[in-house]
Amino acid sequence: MNKKIAVIGAGNVGASCAMYLAEANFADVVMLDIIDGVPQGKALDLTQAGPVRGYNCMVTGTTKYKDIKGADIVIMTAGFPRKPGMSREDLIAKNAEIVGIAAKNIKKFAPKAFVIVVSNPLDLMTYHMQKVTGFPKNRVVGQAGVLDSIRMRAFIAMELGVAMSDTNAMVLGGHGDTMVPLPRYTTVAGVPITELMPKDRIKAISERTKGGGGEIVKLLKTGSAYYAPAAAAVDMCKAIFNDEKKVLPASAFLSGQYGIKDIYIGVPVVLGAKGVEKILELKLTKSELKALQGSAATYKKLIKVVK
């Protein structure tokens, strides 16, 4: 039996996830959405691309949660997108309801699945997903820092004129304005960027990373980013399916690490066949640790809104 990945939400992020997953060709994909015809139509379109794109996995669309039965991984993308002037936090109440409904159905039809949350506000929705499903915390993870880090990697490559694949970045904290880019742990072919560019350019790139999603929202005017968020989520899928033991900054549940507990927040994790297999505690400066703890405190105050 083929592996199965369910994508909840057939909007731009969900459809992009389905496309990237199909081209990865390691699992069948089912897209679910509440608008009848949309997931079915996009799935059929993707299936018809298979002969020339070189994949043989099946892509199907549905409006019924029973069709996600037995999914190995569920990617949660459904929710209201940001509009210009909105923060991710503005979406809390609306998206908590959507995530809650999905979580109950994931628990019912895919009780052994790993869940990767993309819906915003990311860290809070990941927390909500884990609480409603009751799944072990290692099986529920948020995409957050993976996306923030690949944005920073792209900005560094653009700045230095180097291959994007040679860059590595580390961005911790919440997936929002309080995120914490760490230039000391950001490299090009193993060389810290602090050795490759002046402080003012590093600061500018760090600030652009923080506002990376908002920059795209302003440009699009009618929606938010989808290609990069989908790519980040699929990269996490691969790490779990292939047991890559990949070190990624993702939204994980902390139980005292970095002096933070009882919240999901972006930290370096080892992602493999057991999901979040380990949380790495980097040696942070006082200012870096203060920023990370401050980011966590911001989201901790907002948990009551979710509840």
Catalytic site positions:
175
Cβ atoms of 140 and 119 closer than 8 Å: no
Distance CA 15, CA 7 (A): 8
Helix (H) or strand (E) holding 30: strand 28-32
Burial code (b: 16+ CB inside 10 Å, e: under 16) for 236-253 equals bbebbbeebebebbbbbb
Give me 74's structure tokens.
Answer: 């569920």
User: Which residues sit opposite 268 in a β-bridge?
Assistant: 249
How buried is 88 (Cβ within 10 angstroms: 0-12 exposed, 13-18 middle, 19+ buried)?
buried
- Coil, helix or strand at residue 11: coil
Going by the DSSP 8-state scheme, the letter that residue 195 receives in this structure is G
Distance CA 232, CA 230 (A): 5
% helix / strand / coil in the chain, to the nearest 5? 50, 20, 30
Going by the DSSP 8-state scheme, the letter that residue 169 receives in this structure is -
Only one residue has tokens 């880019």, namely 181
